[in-house]
Amino acid sequence: MRLPFRPLPLGLLALGGLLLLRLVAVEGEGARRLLVLFPWSRGEVAFVNSVTGRPVRLLFYPLWDFRGFRALTDPETEAYYTGGEYAWNEVLAQERRRELVYCSEVGLSLALGPWRFWAEGGCLRARLLWPP
């Protein structure tokens, strides 16, 4: 027995495509840019801690919100942020945010998928616009 081929309706395909895309607004230094990302795109914030002088990288994903946060740094810098009281990455893994704001006097970079933004003496803001 052979079943007839029935293509999916165009509206269903469009809805499926929308569910796979993420629309993110990035603002900083008087500029705004809209980005289209996939939920598996990687995000990263990188900066140098002004007290320890050591690099810090925060990794995350834009799933339904910004999540899957993980910090990469040395033990001394992690202790600076946590006071040695808790495991930083365990706490960060629970974070769920629709908006991220990072500021630095020294400088920072924000990468979302293939795009990279820089701020020095200012802030970068990323807002997840879609999905709502």
Which residues are CB-contacts of 68 (< 8 A; sequence separation ≥ 6)?
Answer: 59, 60, 61, 93
Tell me the pLDDT tens digit for each residue of 18-43.
Answer: 568 999 999 998 899 999 999 999 99
Residue 42: count other Cβ atoms within 10 Å of its Cβ. 15
Which residues are CB-contacts of 44 (< 8 A; sequence separation ≥ 6)?
Answer: 57, 58, 59, 60, 109, 110, 111
Provide the pLDDT for residue 30: 85
Q: How confident is the model at residue 66 (pLDDT cuts 50, 70, 90)?
A: very high
| Distance between CA atoms of residues 32 and 35, nearest Å | 10
Provide the pLDDT for residue 54: 96
Share of the chain above pLDDT 70, in %: 86
The CA R_g of the chain, rounded to the nearest whole Å, is 19
Provide the pLDDT for residue 29: 84
Provide the pLDDT for residue 13: 41
| Distance between CA atoms of residues 57 and 20, nearest Å | 26
Model pTM score:
0.83
Q: How confident is the model at residue 1 (pLDDT cuts 50, 70, 90)?
A: low
| Distance between CA atoms of residues 55 and 123, nearest Å | 18
Place of tokens 């930083």: 88
Stretch 84-107: mean pLDDT: 94
Q: HEC profile for 63-124? A: CCCEEEEEEECCHHHHHHHHCCCCCHHHHHCCCCECEEEEEECCCEEEEECCEEEEECCEEE
